[in-house]
Amino acid sequence: MARISTYGKDLEISDYDAWIGTDSPTRATKQFTAKAVAEYLNIKGKISISAQMVFYYWTVNSANTLTPGAGDFYGPSIGAPMTSITTMQLYKSDKSGQDVVAFMNYIVGSHILISKQNDINVFGHFLIDSYTINNPDDDFYTLNLTSIGGNGNLTELLHYDFAIFTPSILSVDKNFVFPQNEASATWTVQHNLDKFPSCTMVLSTGQQGFGDVTFIDENNLTITFASAETGKAYIN
Write the pLDDT tens digit of every residue in 26-42: 888 888 776 666 666 55
Q: For the residues 160-182, what does the mean pLDDT come to?
A: 80
Dihedral pair phi/psi, residue 167, rounded to 5°? -65, 150
Higher pLDDT, 75 or 62: 75
153 C-beta neighbours (distance < 10 Å), count: 16
Q: How far apart are CA 80 and CA 94, in angstroms?
A: 22
Tell me if 154 sits within 8 A of 202, measured CB to CB. Answer: no
Q: Is the pLDDT score of 18 beyond 90?
A: no
Q: How far apart are CA 78 and CA 58, in angstroms?
A: 10
Model pLDDT for residues 76-117, shown as the tens digit of each residue: 999 999 999 999 999 999 998 899 999 999 999 889 999 998
55 C-beta neighbours (distance < 10 Å), count: 23
Q: How far apart are CA 74 and CA 57, in angstroms?
A: 6
Domain ranges in the chain are 42-169, 176-235
The whole-model pTM stands at: 0.58
Q: How far apart are CA 75 and CA 88, in angstroms?
A: 5
Model pLDDT for residues 122-150, shown as the tens digit of each residue: 999 999 999 999 876 679 999 999 998 99
Tell me if 157 sits within 8 A of 58, measured CB to CB. Answer: yes
Q: Return all residues near 226 (Cβ < 8 A) that are at least 6 apart.
A: 185, 211
DSSP the chain: ---GGGSPP--S--TT-EEEEE-TTT--EEEEEHHHHHHHHHHTT-S--TTEEEEEE---BTTB-SPP-TTEEE-SPTT-BGGG--EEEEESB-TT--B-HHHHHHTTTSEEEEEETTEEEEEEEEEEEEEEE-SS-TTEEEEEEEEEEEESB--TT-EEEEEE---HHHHS---EEEEEEEEEEEEEEE---SS---EEEEETTSSEE--EEEEEETTEEEEEEEEEEEEEEEE-
Model pLDDT for residues 207-217, shown as the tens digit of each residue: 999 999 999 99
Per mean pLDDT, which range of 50-59, 111-120, 195-204 is the poorest?
Answer: 50-59
Tell me if 87 sits within 8 A of 142, measured CB to CB. Answer: yes
pLDDT band of 52, cuts 50, 70, 90: confident
